Structures are given as C-alpha cells and as structure tokens.
Amino acid sequence: METILHYINLVLYVEPLRLLLYLAGLIMFVAANAAYLVLLERKVAGHIQLRIGPKENGPFGLLQPLADGIKLMTKQLLTPSGIDPILFRIAPVMVMVPAIMSFVVIPFSDSIVARNMDIGLLVVLAFATINFLGLLLGAWGSRNKYAIMSAARVVSQNIAYEIPMLVTIVAIIMVSGSLNMHTIVSQQLGGFWQWNLLNIKASLLMPAAFLIMFICMLAETNRAPFDLVEAESELVAGPFIEYSSMGFGLFFMAEYSNIVIGACLATILFLGGWGCPFGILPGVHWFLIKIYLLIFMVVWIRWTFPRTTFYGLLNLSWKVLIPVSFVNLILTSAMLKVF
Amino acid sequence: MSAIVEKLNDETFVLNLGPQHPATHGVLRVKLRMDGEYIVEAEPVLGYIHRMHEKMGENRTWIQYLPNTARLDYLHALAFNHVYVNAVERAAGIEVPQRAEYIRVITAELNRISSHLVWFGAFIMDLGGFSPLLYAFDDREQILDLLEAITGSRLTYCYFRFGGVSCDIDDQFITGSRAFVKRMRERLDMYRNLVTNNIITIKRLEDVGPITAEMCRKYGATGPVARGSGINFDVRRHEPYSVYPEFDFDIPVYHECDNMARYMVRMDEMEQSLRIIEQALDKLPDGPYLLPKAPRIVKPAKGDFYQAVESARGSLGLRIVSDGSNNAYRLKWRSPTFSNLSLFGEACIGMLLPDALALMGTLDLVIPEIDR
C-alpha cells in the first residue's frame, strides 16, 4: 500500500514537476545557444576575416543577439501568393520541434538528463530525420524554383550521409552493447585513453570513424563546406528563400540547435561525454567544454573552406565514407568476436 | 506556337537567374532552361544598366567626356581613361611626355592589380569561401589609398589628360608603391598556399568549365579568358601602346581551357603587373607630367581612329569618328566583357548549375561595362 502511494506521489507531483523544469531549461538552453552561437559565429568570422565583428550593442556586442531577435520578431511575415498555406506554415515548426525534442534524452552529466531512455540514441536519430522532412516540405510549399531545387538536394544529401553516420554509430553500439547514451558514456569514463575515439582494441579505424561522424554532422547541419542546400551563390537561400520574420528565425535557430545536437552526439559517442580527459572531476563542465570546442571547429571550418559541389559530396559519401564505415563495422564485429 | 508548346512540354523548366542574384554580381539576368540541375539552354539578358554612354560621347566635347570613361568599368577605370586619351591624342596629334607615359603605366597596372584582387575575392565567394574577399580588399585598400593621394578619387578615376596626367606623382607615392610591391608578393604567396592549393578549390576548378580556343575566336573573347584557352594574345605585347615595349614581362598562357587555367592566368598576371610597376618606378624619367603646350580645346583631325588597350578583362577597343569639330561624330566602345559573356550561353550547356556559376565567375563580369 505504502509503495503504491509513494509511486502515485512520485508520478503526480515530483516527476511532472521535474519534467516541466527540464523542459523549460532545455528550451532556454536551445534558445540561448541559437542566439549566442550566431554571435560566436560572427565574432569568429570577424577575427578570421581581419575584422572585429559586432561590438556596438553591449560589451563585446553581447546584446547583439537580443537586437537581432527583436528585429526578426517585429518584421512582417510575408506569405507569397500561390504557396501551400499549410506546408508553408508547418515547416518551420517541423524543423524546430525535433531539434528541441532531441535534447530530452541527451545526458549532460551523470545526473543531468531529462529522460534516461534505453533507446536514447535511436530517439535522437529519429528526430534528426524529421528535421529534413521539414526542410523538404517548407521548400516544396514555397512554390519557388530555387527552393524546389534545394529540396531535391536535401533529399539526396540526406541519403548520402545518413548511411555512413548510421553505420558508424552501429559500430559504437556494438562496442558498448547499449543504445542508452548514459551507459555509452559510463563505459568511457576515467580518462581520454578510455574514449571510443582511441578505442583501437575494438577497431583500428575508430579515429577514422570519428572523422566520418564529424563530416556527416557537418553535412547534416548543412554547414560549409557542405552547405549545398542553402548555397548562397547558387540557390540564393535554399529552402528559406520565401521565409521572412520568425519563420526564417525558426529555421535559423533550428540550424544552430542541430549543430549543438551533432556536437553532443559526437561528444557522447566518441569523446567520453562528461568525463574528464585526465580522470579527475567529471561533470557537466567537461561536457560543455567538449561540445563548444567541436562547435568552434565547425565555425572555423565554415570560414576557411570554399563550398564543395553537390556531386563532390555524393562522391565523398558513396566512394569514401560508406566503404570506410563498413570496413570499420566489420572490423569491430570481428575484433569483438575474437577478444 | 505549337512548336513552342511542344518544346516546353518536356521535363525542363525555366529558371530566371537575376537580375538580382548573388552570383551575377550586378544586374545581369540569365534565362536558364534547366533539366533538374543541368543547364539545357542559357540566354544572358542585358540592358538593365544601359546609360547611353556612347551617345553622351557624341554630345559632349572631347574633354567633357573624359569623366564618363571611368564610369564604364568601375574596377579598371584607368584602362578606359587610357584608351580614350590615347585615341584622342593620336587623332589630334598630341605628343605625350615620357614621364607622363610612365606614370600612366604605373597607375594603370596598380589599378589592374586592384581589379584582379576584387575578382579573386568575389570569385572565391562564388565558390562559397567568404574569407579571401576580406583579405583581397585589405590589399586593394593599399592601392586605393595610393591612387587616391594622386588622382583624388578611389574608384572612378579621371586622372589622364590629353597630353599627360592631371597631377605629378611624389616621393610618397613612389615609396608607397615599392612597399606595396613587396607586400603584395608575400600576399600572393599566401593566397597560393591558402586558396589555390586548397583541395576543394582544386576539385571545383580543375577540368570544369571548358572554353576552347575555337570558342574564344568565335565570340571574340580576349584577355585572361582567351589566355586560359591557350591563345597567346595580349594587347600590351602584340599591339603595343604607351611605353609597354620598354618593360620586360611575361604573358601568362595556360592551355588547359578550364576554370583553373583562367584562375591561374589572373593570379600570374598580378605578379607580372608587379614586375612592370617595379621596372617603371626604376626607370621613371624626369620632365613634365603634362605637356606644357597641351591644347585647352582639342580638335582632332577628320577621320576614323581605333585604339586598343589591355584592360583587366581583355582587349578594350575604342573607335572614334571625328568630323574635326568639338565633339565626336561617333564613338564606339568594344568592351571585353561583352564578348566574354557572349560565349557563356554556349559554354555552359550541359553543365550543372554550381559549375556554370563558377564558369561565369571566371569570366570576371563587370556589368556596367557590358551595358554601357
């Protein structure tokens, strides 16, 4: 009887409250990241390009995201004639919501996780695919030729890089024996030599697998040098071409949220999550340091490299990434069998 | 009627590229018929920035028209200055002092480098790399500062006069130019390492965008476009004007006919321009910078005159027909980009859109010069 009461208490009062707090926290985390990653991007771009970037609003331009947000929200939301009204309006939501939802299962530290699911990894990958449906439908609903061309690119790009990414992740799952991200990280705690990145006991190709994962993450988030979907000099703005105001804002926020998710995933799968590289003081700070280092890499690459072509990405994916990731998979399974 | 309907009834669609499109660098419009991402047909549409410069040449006096020449090609304005004053001087029989010729060469070559730098930055931006533009503009800023000090303007120069130049160059300009030549050589090395040797740049440029020598001849393409197709033609060498024969410089010619060849021609040309500037600064003679007896009112002899110079984009020609009066009877520009753009419609058939836009980038389009 008492256990039942306790259970009801937990469900009715504590658990919903906890989830509500986590939800608010995650939305704030996503929004703050989206806003301040734009600032980071502009600052880094500025310093790479012999400029200093935004500096007028607040100290070091720290209030610039606020000004940008107010500008975006107060702009008129234009809907061109001839669009598909439902798809056009639903697409930004379809891109933004999965981006927030993915954070639910990501363990930021040993104790900070909204829902510790046994199929956590699968949830993140499933939501990542919905994101593409949003881009495709938004582009389709815009009734713009540039948008439709970019929609075609979205689909074939999606197929091209998701295969190597999934195959690489399958290798990691075989090593850890679990889809639970908390478990995956727990196995890598204790120092950088425990990380999956350097887990050459499982497969000699693990560093290459991390590279594949990183490249696929760049392609997934449409970042340079794989920003073919929104290639400015070819397709003007790709799927967002007809969007204004917060419709565009949501796409933009989702893009940066996806970068954070990609960095989180790479950190959890390969870089030992919240574990310290030297085995001391594990905690959420190490997780944040790792993801922001990866994000900085992403920004750095964007402002350094020109864009590849579309067939360049497909060639890279089908001729290099997929074979290497399959070799890695086979090697991993063989090593697991042997040892 | 039925033929048109039948023709459009297939899987292709018409894509309107421009007049406001980030890749066309101005108000160029290209009507593309696309099969997916492949180009089936391309037709450049001009006329969005037509300002009747040729008609203005007939209505204004010879000296009044001089500022107009800077408004045609805003990147290499001094070449347009140069061809106009050269043509009128020849027609009116005006001698130019040696020092003025040297100053003309130095400033025109500096301007050529600044033009190529803008092209370099904008072209890499077409390929999706944003940062080189800012570095190129940093270098270009040095040239603009140098030229501003002696010509008074930064973009639309009106510096050359009939019988010389409007203002002498001083020691500050000479030392500044020498410092720039030194700095630019280092920067070109940096560009070679960071941009030209980048794997993505190489993959996007090599064996992409073929323009054959035959095609160049057919459409009258000149300049780096023709030299990238193996045609060894440079007006500075083959129809010499001014004091160019006195300098030792190479004409970079590449035979690959692809985007990379045209890219390399321009990068090499910057080095050659630096060489010319260095030699001209060394040999700079003393004397007047403007003919003391230069006529206030120019009245060329009756007749038909043609003068060509090598602008940053190719052979720039000017034909003037004079009836011996205060202004031209007829004035006709032969602008290089117009011919260079003409081959785009044939060259890009069957290419993918991103490659076609890279090809368009290597043509180095300056739209006000096409439309005039």
DSSP code of B196? I
At residue B73, what are phi and psi to the nearest 5 degrees?
-115, 100
Q: Which of A123, A122, A118, A131 is nearest to A104 (CA)?
A: A123
Residue among A50, A51, A233 with most chain B CBs within 10 A, to mutate? A233
Distance from CA of B338 to the nearest CA of A (A): 22
- Compute the half-sphere exposure of residue A262: CA atoms within 13 Å on the CB side of its CA: 31
Distance from CA of B210 to the nearest CA of A (A): 17
Structure tokens at A211: 């590279």
In this structure, are residues A180 and A118 in contact, taking their beta carbons and an 8 Å threshold? yes
Residues of B in contact with A303 (CB under 8 A): 130-131
Rounded Cα gap, residues B209 and B347, in angstroms: 7
Q: Cβ of B203 and A233 within 8 Å?
A: no
Residues of B in contact with A143 (CB under 8 A): none
Question: Would you give the end-to-end CA distance of chain B in angstroms?
Answer: 35
Q: Cβ of A149 and B198 within 8 Å?
A: no
pLDDT score for B181? 92
In this structure, are residues A178 and A266 in contact, taking their beta carbons and an 8 Å threshold? no
Q: Does B355 touch chain A (CB under 8 A)?
A: yes
Residue of B nearest to A48 (CA): B131
Q: Cβ of A50 and B134 within 8 Å?
A: yes
Residue of A nearest to B194 (CA): A304
Residues of A in contact with B355 (CB under 8 A): 309
Map out the domains of chain B with their CATH numbers.
Answer: 52-336 (1.10.645.10)
Q: Does A33 touch chain B (CB under 8 A)?
A: no
pLDDT score for B5? 44
Q: Does A300 touch chain B (CB under 8 A)?
A: no
Q: Does A118 touch chain B (CB under 8 A)?
A: no
pLDDT score for B144? 92
Structure tokens at B357: 């836009």
Rounded Cα gap, residues A150 and A240, in angstroms: 10
Q: Which of B290, B272, B316, B68 is nearest to B166 (CA)?
A: B290
List of chain B residues with pLDDT < 50: 1-6
Query: How open is the CA angle A290-A291-A295, to the nearest 5 degrees?
Result: 120
Measured CA distances, A297 to A38, A215, A217, A301, B319 (Å): 14, 11, 12, 6, 56
Environment class of A280 (CB within 10 Å of its CB; exposed 0-12, middle 13-18, buried 19+): exposed
Rounded Cα gap, residues A150 and B336, in angstroms: 34
Rounded Cα gap, residues A273 and A116, in angstroms: 14
Helix axis angle for B259-283 and B98-126, nearest 10°, is 150
Structure tokens at B319: 């034909």
Alpha helices in chain A (DSSP H): 2-9, 15-48, 64-74, 85-101, 120-141, 145-176, 181-186, 206-220, 232-235, 245-270, 284-302, 310-315, 322-338
Structure tokens at B108: 């025109």
pLDDT tens digits in sequence order for chain A, 339 residues long:
567 767 666 665 667 777 788 888 888 888 888 888 888 888 888 888 888 888 888 788 888 888 888 888 888 888 888 888 888 888 888 888 888 888 888 888 777 777 788 888 888 888 888 888 888 888 888 888 888 888 888 888 888 888 888 898 888 888 888 888 888 888 887 777 777 777 777 777 788 888 888 888 888 888 878 887 777 777 777 788 888 888 888 888 888 888 899 888 888 888 887 877 776 777 788 888 888 999 999 889 888 888 888 888 888 888 888 898 888 888 888 887 777
DSSP code of A105? G
Say what the pTM is: 0.86
Evaluated on CA atoms A5, A8, A14, A15, the torsion sign reads positive
Q: Does A83 touch chain B (CB under 8 A)?
A: no
In this structure, are residues B70 and B89 in contact, taking their beta carbons and an 8 Å threshold? no
Residue of A nearest to B200 (CA): A308
Q: Does B31 touch chain A (CB under 8 A)?
A: no
Residue of B nearest to A51 (CA): B134
Q: Cβ of B130 and A49 within 8 Å?
A: yes
Residues of A in contact with B36 (CB under 8 A): 152
Rounded Cα gap, residues B134 and B117, in angstroms: 10
Distance from CA of B248 to the nearest CA of A (A): 35
- Compute the half-sphere exposure of residue B151: CA atoms within 13 Å on the CB side of its CA: 29
* A109 Ramachandran zone, left/alpha/beta (phi>0; psi -120 to 50): beta
CA A137 to chain CA centroid, Å, is: 20
Q: Cβ of B37 and A233 within 8 Å?
A: no
CA B74 to chain CA centroid, Å, is: 9
Q: Cβ of A312 and B204 within 8 Å?
A: yes
Closest partner residue to B200 (CB to CB) among A303, A308, A311 is: A308
Structure tokens at B236: 């500075």
Could you count the other beta carbons within 10 Å of the beta carbon of residue B6? 9
Residue of A nearest to B361 (CA): A233
Closest partner residue to B128 (CB to CB) among A50, A152, A231 is: A231
Where b means 16+ CB within 10 Å and e means fewer, B293-326 reads: ebeeebebeeeebebbbbbbbbbbbbbbbbeeee
B169 SS3 class: coil
pLDDT score for B3? 45
In this structure, are residues A125 and A158 in contact, taking their beta carbons and an 8 Å threshold? no
Environment class of A337 (CB within 10 Å of its CB; exposed 0-12, middle 13-18, buried 19+): exposed
Helix, strand, coil % in chain B, rounded to nearest 5? 50, 15, 35
- This model of the complex carries an ipTM of 0.81
pLDDT score for B4? 45
Could you count the other beta carbons within 10 Å of the beta carbon of residue B212? 13
Q: Cβ of B203 and A50 within 8 Å?
A: no
Q: Does B128 touch chain A (CB under 8 A)?
A: yes
Environment class of B22 (CB within 10 Å of its CB; exposed 0-12, middle 13-18, buried 19+): middle
Residue among A50, A234, A314 with most chain B CBs within 10 A, to mutate? A234
| Beta-ladder partners of B161 | B164
Measured CA distances, B264 to A14, A236, B181, B296 (Å): 68, 28, 19, 44
Measured CA distances, B210 to A292, B53, B141 (Å): 43, 33, 33
Environment class of A152 (CB within 10 Å of its CB; exposed 0-12, middle 13-18, buried 19+): middle
Q: Does A9 touch chain B (CB under 8 A)?
A: no
pLDDT score for A105? 85
Q: Which of A33, A160, A207, A308 is nearest to B198 (CA)?
A: A308
What would the pLDDT profile of B243-256 be if each residue is shown by its tens digit? 888 888 889 999 88
Evaluated on CA atoms B35, B39, B41, B46, the torsion sign reads positive
